[in-house]
Chains A and B, each alone.
Chain A
Amino acid sequence: MIPVPLVAVAGNPNAGKSALFNALTGARQKVGNYPGVTVERHVGKATLPDGSPIELVDLPGAYGLDPTSPDEAVTRDVLLGKQKGERLPQALLIVVDASNLDNHLRFALQLIDLGLPTVIALNMVDLAKRDGLELDAARLEAELGVPVVETVAVRKRGMSEVMERLHTLLLAPRTIRAGEGPSHDPLNLQRRAREIAMAAVVSETPVRRITHRLDGLLLHPVAGPLILAAVMFVMFQAVFAWSAVPADALEAGTLWLGQAIGNALPEGVLRSLIVDGVFAGVGAVIVFLPQILILFLFILVLESTGYMVRAAFIMDRLMSHAGLSGRAFIPLLSSFACAVPGIMATRTIDDPKDRLTTILVAPLMTCSARLPVYTLIIGAFIPATTVGLGIGLQGLVLFGLYITGIVGALLAAIVLSKTAVKGGGGAFMMELPKYQLPRVADVLIGLWQRAMIFLKRAGTIILFTTIVLWGLASFPQAGPGQKQSDVSVAGHIADGIHVVVAPIGFNKDISLALLPAMAAREVAVAAIGTVYSLDAEDESNLETLEQRMAGRWSLATALAFLAWFVFAPQCISTIAVTRRETNGWKWPIFMVTYLFVLAYLAAGATYWTAVAFGLG
């Protein structure tokens, strides 16, 4: 079978390439990764005017064939037929921004010199017109020697003409052009691009551009940061307020489904596996889907409007003190809801080292899964008194835990960027694109792709791990008069863990909770609850979990437990997504190790300090 013709869509960042790709392929697209690198591969299907199918691949935006980022390297390698996991495209669709021809033609000239059959989409001609710029597409076609089509991708204007031109090129016998030795001197190319762009301009009326006026407000030294703070505030309100109902529904739904299936099965190992293993474990992770989707909705809208780059611009100076760039701000902020979308959002950071540092410190931001643990311990051990001025002590402790996480992340970033991830660019060079209204379909496609990535994780690695954890906790099975938590493999592992964590004040119950809490932090609460409800059979059941704990743990132990959870990387999803985003086990293992070491030291320091003050 002859493979379907492959057409590569290439162009500068911000040329409207992805919008054009979406307009041509609609929902008929797949997202994957190029082998060996964390660069997304977007392919989609389209139909030529004669009804025959072609495949389009949306290459990462690039400024040239001399790469400065892994994304640009993939673009170059695909176009030279050297990229693993991709065949050489038969034709090229170059997207250029009509109002930025001087710059975009430079890359286009390089691409034309490759000698592949080429069509140029002169995109966003409507915005150019709005800015008072009138262009002559025919003149441009004559200067460049390849077909030029005027398009407005977000309104699907010019799409059928693009397909017609591609069709003509793919039908024509391939003419191998004599290699005329393309000029690879970037400055010469740039000058040639400027000459051609100049020649193509019919008229230019200077108008005060909307983008410039908006930036006057959004990048204002005082108003800018305030507006950014307000946007972030709304985002967080939405993440927590809008997600409560669907998250509860999802939790109830998984629980109900698990029990319904469980009731249909005979009592025994299989039933326990399905209900306690699969549904309880995956359910604990799935409840975060609404938060993740809402967070990504905001990130995608901020990204597609052009505001994300402005946020990075405002925050860059502050982030640079921690050895990071402004680009790290949104991913780290997102990690307050959940580190998984935060780490996935680091894809917007160009510099691979800056990106890696950001991924490694993201789990230190206090995610929402820590809240149940914090709430339980604070409720049980910190008196609900005020420290004056109406400030509650419990709230103050919670605030302190958040601050500890932030300070820990910044210090870790400083240390990492000077040691393990040394040589980060520390550069901040970004284009500030024109502001645009996002297209609903583009946002929905992005949201759908993010949801699928997350669910595939929940469906594979997380499912596998929860089954293993369930197995460890369930076998061997307890005989009469024995406690399951004592005889199971997990119980024996807990004995081993206890030896290690006893010096930092952790008792056997905590040791037992730490293992299942690897699936997700809040599982620790359920695990502790299970231990105490089993042990409490002979006592009064009227005691709450908090009361039971308060009776058995010293304050020093409780504080050490809190300090532990500020740092401990107890979240399978985060480890899995780190493996995916760093393309191997090296960095997730490094991350887990350094965070456990920090957790141990922090808990130890807390415990011994508290004991010294007589709280043991």
Chain B
Amino acid sequence: MTGPATSLDQLQIGVRARIAAIDWDALVESEACRLRHFGFDEGVSVVPLHLGPFGRDPLAVRVGRMTVAIRRIHARAVSVIPEAA
């Protein structure tokens, strides 16, 4: 069971999802490079864990075995398909 596709910044805290696609063109090259270094890739499992206290930004996301902080605007470039709990 999977839910409808959405973007990573819209995903509920604690909801596991699989990366469907990443809009690399929406990112500056150095940002895209850093995201790839963090292991962002199609098919990788992600879970948003925490939100920044001010304006719900940035996001702490578990990607693979790593937890990384990225801003909402960058999370928007990552489209995900939620996995059913």
Contacts and interface: CB of A to CB of B under 8 A. Distances in A.
B30 A317 contact: no
A103 B65 contact: yes
B67 interface: yes
A320 B72 CA distance: 12
Given A316-B52, A318-B54, A429 B65 contact: no
Interface residues of B, number: 30
Given A317-B54, A431-B67, A190 B36 contact: yes
A190 B67 contact: no
Interface string A164-185: 0000000000000000000000
Contacts of B41: 187, 190-191
B60 interface: yes
Interface in A335-392: none
B6 to A, nearest CB: 21
Chain B binding surface, main DSSP class: mixed
Given A68-B34, A431-B38, A221 B71 contact: no
Interface residues of A, number: 41
A100 interface: yes
Nearest to B71: A428
Nearest to B63: A103
B64 A429 contact: no
A313 interface: yes
Interface in B21-36: 28, 30-31, 33-36
Contacts of B3: none
Contact of B53 (A216, A221, A320): A221
Contact of A313 (B55, B58, B66): B58
B49 interface: yes
A207 interface: no
Contacts, number: 110
B64 A222 contact: no
A496 interface: no
Interface in A205-225: 211-212, 215-216, 219-222, 224-225
Given A221-B53, A313-B60, A316-B71, A427 B65 contact: no
A190 B44 CA distance: 11
B51 A430 contact: no
Contacts of B67: 211, 215, 431-432
Contacts of A35: none
Contacts of A318: 54
B35 A429 contact: yes
Contacts of B54: 314, 317-318
Contacts of B38: 63, 103, 429, 431
Nearest to A433: B67
B34 A432 contact: no
A466 to B, nearest CB: 43
A64 B50 contact: no
Contacts of A220: 53
A136 interface: no
B41 to A, nearest CB: 6
Contacts of A431: 38, 66-69
Interface centre among B30, B31, B55, B66 (most CB of A within 10 A): B66
B8 to A, nearest CB: 13
B69 A427 contact: no
Given A221-B51, A428-B71, A429-B74, A190 B39 contact: yes
Contact of A427 (B31, B64, B66): B31
Contact of A429 (B39, B53, B55, B70): B70
Nearest to A312: B69
Contact of A219 (B28, B31, B60): B60
A430 B38 CA distance: 9
A313 B69 contact: yes
Given A66-B33, A215-B50, 5 more contacts: A64-B37, A102-B64, A103-B38, A190-B36, A313-B58
Q: Which 4 A-B pairs have the closest CB atoms?
A: A63-B37, A317-B54, A219-B50, A432-B67
Interface of A: 63-64, 66, 68, 99-103, 106, 186-187, 190-191, 194, 211-212, 215-216, 219-222, 224-225, 309, 312-314, 316-318, 320, 326, 425, 427-432
19 contacts: A63-B37, A68-B34, A68-B37, A103-B64, A190-B39, A211-B67, A215-B67, A219-B50, A224-B53, A314-B53, A316-B71, A318-B54, A320-B57, A427-B34, A428-B58, A428-B70, A428-B71, A429-B69, A431-B38
